[in-house]
Amino acid sequence: MRSLHKILILSFISFTSSFAQEANIYLDLGIKKFVGKESLLKREKYFGVQANDARDTFISSNAIFTTHPEIKASGISFKEVSSLANNALTEMLKNDISVIKIQGLDVTSNTNTSILSENIIKAFSKVPVSKKVILSFDDSNNTNNWVKSTSKTALLYKNLGSKLEESSTAASISSPSLPIDNIENNDFDIFKSTIKTFVDISGKEIDQYTLDISDGVDVATQSIAYRSGANLEATFDLLNTYHFVKHNKTKPFYVASYGLKFDNWLNEAHSNYNDALIIESLNNQVMALLDKPDNISLAVPTIFANAKATPNPYSLVGLNSDNNYATTDLLKFYDFWKDVSGERTYISSDHPDIQVNAFKNGNKWINIFNNLSDKAQTLNLKFSDYDAERIKKYHLRRIYTNASGVAEITEAHTDLHIDQLDIEPFETFMLILDIPDDTEFATSIVEYNNYSKSYLQPITANEPTIFDINNTVVGKGRANIRLSFAREKKLSRYPIVKLNDNVVLTPENWAGYDQANRNQFFGTLVIPVPLSYVKPSNKISVTFPDSGGQVSSVVINTEIFSNDVQNENYVEKNTPVFVSYGGILLNVSKKLQCVSPRILDKNGNVVKKIKGYHAGNTVDISTLKTGEYIFKLKNGAEYPFKK
Does 437 score more than 60 pLDDT? yes
Nearest to 343 by CA among 31, 44, 27: 31
Helix, coil or strand: residue 629: strand
pLDDT at 108: 61
Distance CA 285, CA 554 (A): 22
> What's the rounded mean pLDDT across residues 417-427?
93
pLDDT at 536: 95
pLDDT at 201: 94
Length of the chain as a residue count = 643
Distance CA 571, CA 478 (A): 8
pLDDT at 332: 96
Amino acid at 593: Q
CA distances from 468 to 451, 465, 549, 574, 623 (A): 9, 10, 20, 21, 39
End-to-end CA distance of the chain: 47
> What's the rounded mean pLDDT across residues 341-361?
96
> What's the rounded mean pLDDT across residues 8-33?
64
What φ, ψ does residue 87 adopt, rounded to 5°?
-65, -20
Q: Which has more pLDDT, 270 or 343?
A: 343
**Beta-strand pair 550-561/377-382:** unpaired
pLDDT at 142: 53
85 exposed, middle or buried (CB, 10 Å; 0-12, 13-18, 19+)?
middle
pLDDT at 534: 93
Q: In this structure, what DSSP letter does residue 50 have? A: B
268 exposed, middle or buried (CB, 10 Å; 0-12, 13-18, 19+)?
exposed
What CATH number labels 443-570? 2.60.120.1200
pLDDT at 284: 97
pLDDT at 145: 63
pLDDT at 472: 94
294, HSE (Cβ side, Cα atoms, 13 Å): 15
Q: Are 580 and 502 in contact (CB under 8 A)?
A: no
Distance CA 183, CA 410 (A): 38
pLDDT at 633: 87
Instruction: Quickly count: other Cβ atoms within 10 Å of residue 625's Cβ.
Output: 10
Beta strands in 178-233 (DSSP E): 208-212, 216-218, 223-225
Q: Are 390 and 439 in contact (CB under 8 A)?
A: yes
Confidence at 143, pLDDT banded by 50, 70, 90: low
Does 356 score more than 90 pLDDT? yes
Does 581 score more than 60 pLDDT? no
Tell me the percentage of the chain whose pLDDT exceeds 70. Answer: 87
Distance CA 499, CA 512 (A): 26
pLDDT at 304: 86
Helix, coil or strand: residue 320: coil
Q: Are 100 and 133 in contact (CB under 8 A)?
A: yes
> What's the rounded mean pLDDT across residues 35-42?
94
Q: Name the least confident of 7-11, 395-399, 411-415.
A: 7-11
Confidence at 557, pLDDT banded by 50, 70, 90: very high
What φ, ψ does residue 195 adopt, rounded to 5°?
-65, -50
pLDDT at 365: 96
> What's the rounded mean pLDDT across residues 245-260?
94
> What's the rounded mean pLDDT across residues 591-599?
82
Distance CA 56, CA 247 (A): 39
* C-alpha R_g of the chain: 26
451 exposed, middle or buried (CB, 10 Å; 0-12, 13-18, 19+)?
buried
Tell me the percentage of the chain whose pLDDT exceeds 90. Answer: 50
28 exposed, middle or buried (CB, 10 Å; 0-12, 13-18, 19+)?
buried
The pTM of this model reads 0.85
pLDDT at 9: 31
The domain locations on the chain are 1-41+340-441, 42-337, 443-570, 577-642
Tens of pLDDT, residues 179-209: 999 999 999 999 999 999 999 999 889 999 9
Confidence at 229, pLDDT banded by 50, 70, 90: very high
> What's the rounded mean pLDDT across residues 333-340?
95
pLDDT at 124: 80
Tens of pLDDT, residues 464-478: 999 999 999 888 888
pLDDT at 637: 84
pLDDT at 498: 93
> What's the rounded mean pLDDT across residues 40-46?
92
Confidence at 562, pLDDT banded by 50, 70, 90: confident
Nearest to 488 by CA among 181, 180, 186: 186
Distance CA 418, CA 146 (A): 54
> What's the rounded mean pLDDT across residues 309-338?
82
pLDDT at 4: 58
Q: Where are the alpha helices (DSSP H) in 68-127?
A: 87-93, 113-123
Amino acid at 166: E
pLDDT at 53: 53
Q: Which has more pLDDT, 311 or 13?
A: 311
pLDDT at 10: 30
Q: In this structure, what DSSP letter does residue 623 have? A: T
pLDDT at 141: 53
> What's the rounded mean pLDDT across residues 155-167?
87
pLDDT at 17: 36
> What's the rounded mean pLDDT across residues 322-333?
86
- What angle separates helix 150-167 from helix 113-123, to the nearest 10 degrees? 40
> What's the rounded mean pLDDT across residues 560-579?
67
Does 18 score more than 50 pLDDT? no
Helix, coil or strand: residue 279: helix
- What angle separates helix 230-247 from helix 272-290, to the nearest 10 degrees? 40
Helix, coil or strand: residue 74: coil
CATH superfamily of 1-41+340-441: Golgi alpha-mannosidase II (2.60.40.1180)
**Beta-strand pair 171-177/133-137:** parallel
What φ, ψ does residue 286 adopt, rounded to 5°?
-65, -30
Q: Are 500 and 580 in contact (CB under 8 A)?
A: no
Confidence at 64, pLDDT banded by 50, 70, 90: confident
Q: CATH classification of 42-337, choosing from 3.40.50.2300, 1.10.10.60, 3.20.20.80, 3.40.50.300?
A: 3.20.20.80
- Number of separate helices (H) and strands (E) present in the chain: 13, 38
pLDDT at 613: 79
pLDDT at 156: 86
Does 611 score more than 50 pLDDT? yes
